[in-house]
Amino acid sequence: MAVITVSEDERDLIAAIREIAEERVAPRAAEIDHTGEFPWDMKELLAHHDILAMPFPEEYGGLGSSELAITMAIEELSRCCATTGLLLAVQQLGSMPILLAGNEKQKRTYFPRLASGEWLAAFGLTEAGSGSDAAAMKTVAVRQGDKYILNGSKRFITNGGLAQVNTVFAITDREKGTRGISAFIVEKEYPGFSVGHVEDKMGIKGSQTAELIFQDCEVPAENLIGEEGQGFKIAMMTLDRTRIGIGAQALGIAQGALELAISYAKQRVQFGHPIADNQGIQFMLADMATKVEAARLLVYNAAAMVDRGEKNFSKYSSMAKMFASDAAMEVTNDAIQILGGYGYMKEYPAERMMRDAKITQIYEGTNQIQRLVIARSLLAE
C-alpha cells in the first residue's frame, strides 16, 4: 500500500472542518434527527466555509480538493452528524456525472453555483422497480427537435425536491439494453418536473429523500451528458468514485460511536469501579477500534488510488464501502451495548448513530452488490 497523505494546506482545511464539526455541527445533530427537517443552517455553514466547493475544480469556483481530502471532510462531519456529512457527499455525487462526462458549457453553467452552495445537486438513478438492477429502469427520454421529453419517476433520491441540479438517467433506446440509457441534467424548474412522495426514514432523518416525477418533462437537448447511450457507463463510473464517500460517512459514524463508548466506559461506575476496568468491556473497545482503523485504511487507500489516477480502483472502492459500512453497524451496535440502557435512549446519540449507520450498507450499491463487484474483479484477474 502506498503512503496515504494530503498536502499541508488540505491538512489545515481538515483540521478546520473538524473544529467546525465539533463546535457547530455536533450541537445540532440531535435536533436535526428529532425534527427530520432539512438542515438549511448546516448547508449554509458548509457553503460559508467553502466545504461544498471541495469537489469542484478551481476554474469553476471550487477548491479542486483531492479525493482523499473530500473523504476526510465527509468523515469529520459524519463523526458528529451523518446528515450533515451527507450534504458534502451528495453534492459530489449529483455533480460527478457532469465532472466525468459533461462538456465545458455544462461545467461553466452549473459548477460555480454548486461550488458556492447556492444550488444543491441530486443523483437520479434508482426507481421503484430498479434498485440494484439499475438496467431495469422505466423512465424514458424521447428526442423532439431541440428537446428531450422525459416520462417516468425516480425513487429514494437524496436531496429530491431540494436540488436545483438533478442528474437523471433515462432510456433513449430500449432495444440496446444498458447501452440505450442516457444521462441528462434536469433543472428543478423545468416544465413537467415535480416532486412526489417524501420518505419518512429510519435514519439520516434531516436529509430529504423523495420521489422525482417526470410528466412530459422538457429537457433541452444540450443538457444531454456525454452522448446518447453512455448513461449507464457514466452512472457506474460515478458510483465507483462516490461510494468512497459513503465509506467515509460510515467511518465517521463509527469513529463517533467509538469515542462515545470510550468516554462512557470511563465514567460509568458499577460494582465500585468504572466499567472500563472490566476486561469484557476492554475487549469490546479493542475490537471496535480495530474495525474503525481497518475501515479508515481501506477508505483512505481507495481515495488515494483515485487521486493517483489508478485504473483498477473500483474493486478497492467496493471493499472500502462494504467493510466500513459493515463495521459501522457493528461498532454502533456495540456502543449501545456498552452504554446499556442509556444507549437505547435518545438522551444519548448511540441509537441515532446506529440508525444512521444502517443506510450506509444499502445506498450507492448494497453491500451484496459490492461483494459481486469484488468477486468479479478477483475472478477476472
Domain boundary among 119, 140, 161: 119
Give the per-residue pLDDT at 3.
57
Cell triple for 239: 458510483
| Residue position matching grid coordinates 468477486 | 375
Examine the domain organization and report whether 266 and 160 are in the same domain: no
Determine the Cα–Cα distance for residues 145 and 169; give it in Å rounded to an integer.
Answer: 20
Cell triple for 305: 488510488
Examine the domain organization and report whether 241 and 363 are in the same domain: yes
Examine the domain organization and report whether 134 and 185 are in the same domain: yes
Examine the domain organization and report whether 198 and 318 are in the same domain: no
Cell triple for 263: 468516554
Buried b (16+ CB within 10 A) or exposed e, 285-313: beebbebbeebbebbbbbbbbbbeeeeeb
Determine the Cα–Cα distance for residues 182 and 195; give it in Å rounded to an integer.
Answer: 21
As for how many domains the chain has, the answer is: 3
Cβ burial, residue 145 (10 Å; 0-12/13-18/19+): exposed
Residues in the chain: 381
Span 47-75, pLDDT tens digits: 999 999 999 999 999 999 999 999 999 99
Give the per-residue pLDDT at 1.
46
Examine the domain organization and report whether 109 and 147 are in the same domain: no
The Cα angle at residue 212 between residues 206 and 216, in degrees rounded to 5: 160
Tens place of pLDDT for every residue, the chain, 381 residues? 455 789 999 999 999 999 999 999 999 999 999 999 999 999 999 999 999 999 999 999 999 999 999 999 999 999 999 999 999 999 999 999 999 999 999 999 999 999 999 999 999 999 999 989 988 999 999 999 999 999 999 999 999 999 999 999 999 999 999 999 999 999 999 999 999 999 999 999 999 999 999 999 999 999 999 999 999 999 999 999 999 999 999 999 999 999 999 999 999 999 999 999 999 999 999 999 999 999 999 999 999 999 999 999 999 999 999 999 999 999 999 999 999 999 999 999 999 999 999 999 999 999 999 999 999 999 998
Q: What is the CATH number of the domain that holds 108?
A: 1.10.540.10
Give the per-residue pLDDT at 134.
85
Give the per-residue pLDDT at 290.
98
Examine the domain organization and report whether 115 and 131 are in the same domain: no
Question: Which has the closest alpha carbon to 95: 242, 258, 282, 315?
Answer: 242
Q: Which residues are catalytic?
A: 364
pTM greater than 0.85 (yes/no)? yes
In terms of DSSP bridges, do strands 165-171 and 181-187 run parallel, antiparallel, or are they unpaired?
antiparallel
Question: Which has the closest alpha carbon to 302: 292, 311, 313, 312?
Answer: 313
Examine the domain organization and report whether 240 and 369 are in the same domain: yes
Determine the Cα–Cα distance for residues 92 and 163; give it in Å rounded to an integer.
Answer: 12
Q: Which residues 6+ apart lie within 8 Å of 364 measured at CB?
A: 93, 239, 242, 243, 246, 321
Residue-number span of the structural domain to which 26 is assigned: 8-119
